[in-house]
Amino acid sequence: MNTKIAIIVAALALPLTVAAFPGAQPGDSEEHRAQRVERLAEKLDLNAEQKTQVTQIFQQQREKQEALRQETHQRLQAVLRPEQMTQFDELKKERHAKWKKHQGERGHLKTDAPAH
């Protein structure tokens, strides 16, 4: 029964925690974020002030997502027993590894392999 509860909680919380990991995901470096703003600036013809504002908006969003991730983790810790929390963390790591593998297969992640 407790295992079922842990699985249900994990299934419900994983989409939230994966979405709320912007700072921890590969490819989400300062460089990547700057490139994203530059692409938007080019496609939308943003002026310097708009670029600054867009950058600030994205920064604020990342901070909110991180705060939500931390709050979710604390709330789960208050509900789950320590062994359930450990199991939850393992499930989250497995899901992240699958996501990372899938992104790599689709060519979305940088690899250490030399470019051809």
Tokens coding 1: 């029964």
- Give the count of domains, the chain: 1
Residue 111 falls inside a structural domain = no
Residue 114 falls inside a structural domain = no
Instruction: Look up the pTM and report it.
Output: 0.57
Alpha-carbon distance 27 to 21, whole Å? 12
Name 76's Cβ contacts closer than 8 Å, sequence gap at least 6: 9, 13, 85, 88
Q: 88: domain range?
A: 2-105
pLDDT tens for 68-95 read 999 999 999 999 999 999 999 999 999 9
Q: For 113, phi and psi rounded to 5 degrees? A: -70, 145
Residue 113 falls inside a structural domain = no
Q: Is residue 109 helix, strand or coil?
A: coil
pLDDT tens for 16-59 read 544 444 444 445 578 888 899 999 999 999 999 999 999 999 99
Comparing CA positions, the residue from 7, 110, 19 lying closest to residue 69 is 19
Residue 110 falls inside a structural domain = no
**Hey, how many other C-beta atoms are within 10 angstroms of the C-beta on 51?**
16
Residue 65 falls inside a structural domain = yes
